[in-house]
Amino acid sequence: MLKGSLFLILALMVGAAPAATKPAATYDYYSAGRLDAARPGATEGALMLLGGGDWPVPAFRWFVEKMGHGHLVILRVSGADDLQQDFLEEIGGAASVETLVFHSRSAASDPRVLEILRHADGIFFGDGDQSNYVGYFKGTPLNALVEEHVRGGKPVGGTSAGLAILGAYSYGAMDGGGLVSADAMRNPLGGGVTLVRDFLHLPYLSRVITDSHFAIRARWGRLLVFVGLLASEQSDDGITGIGVDEKAALCIEANGMGRVYSIGRGFAWLVRPMRAPDSIAKARFNFRGVPVVGIGAESGIDMSSFTVTRPSFELKVNVVNGEFDAPSSAALKAAAVTPSPEPTAATSRKWTLAIHGGAGVIERGDLTPAKEAAYRASLAVALEAGRKVLAGGGASLDAVEAAIRVLEDDPLFNAGRGAVFTAEGRNELDASLMDGATRKAGAVAGVTRTRNPISLARAVMQNSPHVMLAREGADQFSVEQGLPQVAPDYFRTEQRWQQLLDWRRDNAKLLDPTHSHGTVGAVAIDVNGHVAAGTSTGGMTGKRWGRIGDSPVIGAGTYAVDGNCAVSATGSGEYFIRASAARQLCDRIAWHGESVQAAAAATIANIGDIGGDGGLIAIDGAGSIAFAMNTSGMYRGWVRSDAAAATAIYSNEPGPQ
């Protein structure tokens, strides 16, 4: 956990003592971190909709990435600095955190408050009473600044009441916030149905009303009433409701693609009838055949069309005479059932690991029995290194690194020891690593003295503000990080040197068709559902002019996103870069709902269409493994929590069952 020193600074009234000591205080102010620090990275527009309760940490880390690891401002209408403390202890990664707790509408016009908002790289609305958010903020300079912040390509999020105000329409809780579904369905025009319009205007939410604490407080009925009432009132069949469960977050990219992070089993619930109810009156509500779609960790949503890929569930519900009919009620409750607490023994949860050692023209009979046995044995050792990590409850990132380190140390493979030579007779090594939970990544290119380049890639990810370092700078960083260094001749093998001499005699000659693409890589999912991917290589024999292939390029040779996929590639790197191979595979899953195997095959086919060859390994958010290649072989292996380790070389060997 990241723990920062927390400094309490109470807002000052002009010529007065600290504001927190006076009943007339209009706001309280808290801060921590370096307020004057430069933002380390670029910001991206994004929305984070949290349903309340505990924070799903990966969602907040995603939000911090969108802030460029800059300055977060938390807006509240009650409480103190507890959310700020939670952020510092559980999330971290921001240059600073400031909290403004509002006690009156006038504070939303205070010059000091507005200056703080202008400085923000991310804005987050906390919990509390949404009627105060509406009363204090709507139509104020602060309201305008939040929208200006979003237009500037910076992220906004909210939880609980802070989520409720993010849509174009919101439940204002002007009745005290006590509206329950039964009362709303009994009289949709009752005094408790207090809807707010024309408050915030955020991308993709222009026709949306949101709700929080969704399933646990059975808010399905009231959201249906809100949607039906607005559709009728606005004469707009496109009015859409989005309810978010406690401990869940719907995170929406600038391009409108969204996904859910949750602790345990939580969803975003999409309510989009595409029509108004038959009638709206001060009478019991009726609304039949309303579609309700569950967006879970395995799902994706395109907010521009509200299209859901891999929905967790799809229901049609009926409100009849002011209540859900029996089948609808049962279906909603069944969809919302949260399993008993997760098992505490790590071995009771599933995990999976897959590795590769490169692809090539590998026909049966090309390898001697001894050479084939050696390859399979080496793959088995790498699988065992990763298996030990995962079986012990360790992280996918650690398992991927452990497996690749074994392959880097093995002279059979073109990575680390055993790497091929450049035209000048040097070994120049590339590697990359990506954490699907945080989408952090690290990569190195052209390094010459680090024994295990994959560990250097991890150090770049964890201990620098950068993603890729190259050549002398990467070598220097490795020394400063205290990673094991070796003399350049450590990487040399006689076989690789002879390949270089052969290449020098005939540059066009294919030196070793059974290992023409000698990259190594690994993908894994751990007991917590987090994925990771890594790739390491010596490149290609005779490479010149500082050539860098796909292996260290995030999105080409390596990519990982929780709930979606993790990919490591091997092949003619220029083509994998041009095809954005690793990212393409994950996008096929997220955008088109393809299975991981179908996405892997289609990606390799796309690479083949432009002239490239090679292979890749992938794993999806459920732990399913895929191998794909357009060569006749790829050194590969896999192991799962419920199955023994296995290896394969030839393209027609059976894969995971």
The whole-number average pLDDT for the span 418-440 is 91
Which range has highest mean pLDDT (6-20, 55-69, 494-508)? 55-69
What gap in Å lies between CA 361 and CA 363, rounded to an integer? 6
**Residue 87 pLDDT:** 86
**Residue 365 pLDDT:** 77
What gap in Å lies between CA 62 and CA 47, rounded to an integer? 10
Indicate if the alpha-carbon torsion angle 317, 323, 327, 332 is positive or negative: positive
pLDDT digits (tens, 9 = 90+) for 356-400: 999 876 778 788 899 999 999 999 999 999 999 999 888 999 999
pLDDT digits (tens, 9 = 90+) for 86-111: 888 778 889 999 999 999 999 999 99
pLDDT digits (tens, 9 = 90+) for 113-133: 999 999 999 999 999 998 999
Helix, strand, or coil (residue 360): strand
Residue 357 has phi, psi (to 5 degrees) of -125, 25
**Strand segments (E) across 518-585:** 520-525, 531-537, 558-561, 565-571
Spell out a b/e string for 225-253, using b for 16 or more CB atoms within 10 Å of the CB, else e: bbbbbbbbeeeeeebbbbbbbbbbbbbbb
**Residue 264 pLDDT:** 75
Rounded mean pLDDT of the chain? 89
| Class at the top of the CATH hierarchy for domain 346-650 | alpha beta
Per-residue H/E/C for 504-533: HHCCCCCCCHHHCECCEEEEEECCCCCEEE
pLDDT at 597 over 90: yes
**Residue 137 pLDDT:** 97
Asked if 381 and 374 touch (Cβ cutoff 8 Å), the reply is: no
What gap in Å lies between CA 630 and CA 284, rounded to an integer? 62
Helix (H) or strand (E) holding 405: helix 396-409
**Residue from 508, 516, 514, 574 nearest 540 by CA:** 516
Distance of CA 115 to the CA centre of its chain: 31
Return all residues near 288 (Cβ < 8 A) that are at least 6 apart.
318, 319, 320
Min mean pLDDT across 171-175, 430-434, 458-462, 489-493 is at 171-175
- Sequence ranges of the domains in the chain: 8-336, 346-650
The whole-number average pLDDT for the span 325-334 is 93
Apex 97 CA angle, 93 and 102, nearest 5: 150
Beta strands across the sheet bearing 71-76: 6-8, 27-33, 96-102, 71-76, 122-125, 156-159, 47-50, 248-252, 257-262, 300-302, 307-309
Residue by residue, DSSP assigns 122-150 as EEEE-SS-HHHHHHHHTTSHHHHHHHHHH
Tokens representing residue 529 in the block: 């559902």
Confidence of residue 339 (pLDDT cuts 50, 70, 90): very low
pLDDT at 496 over 90: no
Distances (CA, A) of 343 to 347, 441, 650: 9, 30, 39
pLDDT digits (tens, 9 = 90+) for 290-310: 999 999 988 899 999 999 998
Of the two residues 72 and 437, the one the predictor is more confident about is 72
pLDDT at 581 over 50: yes
What gap in Å lies between CA 375 and CA 228, rounded to an integer? 63
10 Å Cβ neighbour count for 299? 26
Residue 610 has phi, psi (to 5 degrees) of -100, 5
Of the two residues 159 and 589, the one the predictor is more confident about is 159
**Residue 337 pLDDT:** 60
Min mean pLDDT across 172-176, 349-353, 559-563 is at 172-176
The DSSP code for 358 is E
What gap in Å lies between CA 286 and CA 264, rounded to an integer? 33
pLDDT at 649 over 80: yes
pLDDT at 17 over 50: no
**Residue 517 pLDDT:** 56
Min mean pLDDT across 48-57, 335-344, 503-512 is at 335-344
Distances (CA, A) of 511 to 514, 518, 539: 9, 12, 14
Residue 288 has phi, psi (to 5 degrees) of -105, 150
**Residue 12 pLDDT:** 27
Asked if 122 and 72 touch (Cβ cutoff 8 Å), the reply is: yes
pLDDT at 607 over 50: yes
Confidence of residue 70 (pLDDT cuts 50, 70, 90): very high
What gap in Å lies between CA 205 and CA 166, rounded to an integer? 8
pLDDT at 189 over 90: yes
Confidence of residue 177 (pLDDT cuts 50, 70, 90): low
pLDDT digits (tens, 9 = 90+) for 197-207: 999 999 999 99
What gap in Å lies between CA 498 and CA 496, rounded to an integer? 5
**Residue from 440, 437, 46, 1 nearest 261 by CA:** 437
**Residue 502 pLDDT:** 82
Using CA atoms of 61, 66, 72, 78 in order, give the dihedral in degrees to the nearest 10: -70
Q: What percent of the chain has pLDDT over 70?
A: 92
Asked if 193 and 231 touch (Cβ cutoff 8 Å), the reply is: no
Q: Which CATH architecture has domain 8-336?
A: 3-Layer(aba) Sandwich (3.40)
26 is catalytic: no
pLDDT at 344 over 60: no
**Residue 591 pLDDT:** 79
**Residue 349 pLDDT:** 61
**Residue 14 pLDDT:** 28
The whole-number average pLDDT for the span 190-201 is 93
Confidence of residue 542 (pLDDT cuts 50, 70, 90): confident
Asked if 639 and 656 touch (Cβ cutoff 8 Å), the reply is: no
Active-site residue (options: 514, 519, 537, 631): 519
The whole-number average pLDDT for the span 134-158 is 97
Asked if 204 and 87 touch (Cβ cutoff 8 Å), the reply is: no
pLDDT at 348 over 90: no
**Residue 24 pLDDT:** 59
pLDDT digits (tens, 9 = 90+) for 231-280: 999 999 999 999 999 999 999 999 999 999 888 778 999 999 999 997 88
